[in-house]
Amino acid sequence: MESQSVLNHSVLKGILAEVNEVSNEDIRDEIVSDIYTKSKSLCKKVVSQQHSAMYRSDKLDEIFTSRIWGFPIMLIMLGAIFYITIAGANVPSDMIASLFGYLEGKLTILFETMHAPEWLHGILVLGLFRGTGWVISVMLPPMAIFFPIFALLENYGYLPRVAFNMDRLFKRAGGHGKQSLTMAMGFGCNAAAILSTRIIESPRERMLAILTNNFVPCNGRWPTLILLASLFMVTGFSGATGTLVTAGILIGFVMLGVVVTLSVSWILSKTALKGVPTHYTLELPPFRKPKFWNTILRASLDKAWYVLKRAVIVAAPASILTWVFANIYVGDTSILMHFVNFLDPFGQALGMDGFIMAAFILGLPANEIVIPILIMAYLSQGAMLEIEDLSKLKQVFIDQGWTWLTALNMMLFSLLHFPCGTTLVNIYKETKSPKWTFMSFLIPTVIAIGVTWLTATVARAFGWV
């Protein structure tokens, strides 16, 4: 009898040890999974149906949310979007740039005929018109392609599957599964994604989503990444192969952004924002056939047009300001060059230069204007480039001392650096906290500086540049 009691006690201890090893999350997932499995089994027994759309939806879900195929399919989808965007945007960008170059020449002739003051021609044509022309030619074609494709995937019902695949990763990082949805929103616009964090009920987990949303590239940073990857990262490749390599590089940058998002979420959840992840049930909506042309037109007009309008509104005064700073001198040096020279040692330490640092600072209101400001700043130093020579832009950068490291680190800094002004305003509105708004600026800035400094240091130490 005593031996039986000892045996039972030993068995109970073993069972208790196994129970302690199972987390509350695993128990909950098993219970929910069992409920859904039994419900589905009952439905199949009492309801007879043909191979309907719902049946096909279940089959597709088995593929798209598979632990084996889910992530590879995500990467293939992302690569296809980038490939179509890059391949489709090159010719229209050149055509729009050529049009603005032609119009710039005609405007210059008009101002000369009118005997207009040189400063007026400089502000209106070389500043305002040229700056907004660069914004439109660089941004409009890729955004007009990217947004409709992204909208089609969203309307078809694929994005919730992406969130499902990312759910476990965010839970392990200490965040909420819905953070994957807000991160996906960030690919379109970080400012809008900050507002979308309202779907997260827990204040701690919502703050994690707010502080890390900036690490995925938004519409304002896509043109910079696409342009620099196309110019500097595909040397030796051309045509379809070059486009494919560029798409692969962009996928790598997106994956880096996701890794940084998860890493920062994990660190914050162990330090400043400690807590246990809350649970929720993610319901996958059925796949649905979108209204193709309606979706294309709405995405083009609503999203692409909104982004372009916002970029032009911000670019117009920024272009004028850049031209003014480049043409007002203190001593023998312009105000712009004083600013650039001050930032240059810091920029060189990060593998870039003072012009790039100045462009990021002046581009705080909107990421869309960073490249146009940079080009205008280089042009103010006598770089011989007409606006229609978009294909020769690489040579202008090389003449300014650029190498592959400069392009790589500018892409890294663009991916990881501080949010734009609109996003910061939304963060303050949502958090009502100057402290967390400042932290949302500081955290990505420190990471961007650290990553680019490390990249530059390693490249120089091994003699790669």
- Residues 249-303: tens digit of each pLDDT: 999 999 999 999 999 999 999 988 887 766 666 667 777 777 777 778 777 777 7
3-state secondary structure of 376: helix
Q: What is the rounded average pLDDT of the residues 348-371?
A: 93
Beta-carbon count within 10 A of 401 CB: 10
Residue 136 pLDDT exceeds 60: yes
Give residue 383's pLDDT band: very low, low, confident or very high (50, 70, 90). very low
* Cβ-Cβ contacts under 8 Å for 249 (sequence gap 6 or more): 229, 233, 234
Q: Give the domain ranges of the chain.
A: 69-461
Taking every pair of C-alpha atoms in the chain, what is the biggest distance, in angstroms? 114
- Better-scored residue on pLDDT, 390 or 336: 336
How far is residue 465's CA from residue 463's CA, in Å, rounded to a whole number?
Answer: 5
Q: What is the rounded average pLDDT of the residues 149-162?
A: 81
pLDDT at 384: 44
Q: What is the rounded average pLDDT of the residues 62-81?
A: 87
Give residue 63's pLDDT band: very low, low, confident or very high (50, 70, 90). confident
Please tell me what DSSP assigns to residue 126: I
The mean pLDDT value of the chain amounts to 84
Residue 2 pLDDT exceeds 60: no
pLDDT above 70 covers a percentage of the chain that reads 87
Position of tokens 């490749």? Answer: 237
Residue 114 pLDDT exceeds 50: yes
Helices (H), 70-221: 70-113, 118-121, 130-156, 159-172, 179-186, 190-196, 203-212
Residue 332 pLDDT exceeds 80: yes
pLDDT at 242: 86
> Closest Cα partner for 107 from 81, 137, 127?
127
pLDDT at 340: 95
Q: In this structure, what token pair is assigned to residue 202?
A: 């827990």
pLDDT at 336: 92
3-state secondary structure of 273: coil
- Better-scored residue on pLDDT, 400 or 372: 400
Which pLDDT tens digit goes with each residue over 219-248? 889 888 988 998 898 877 777 888 899 999
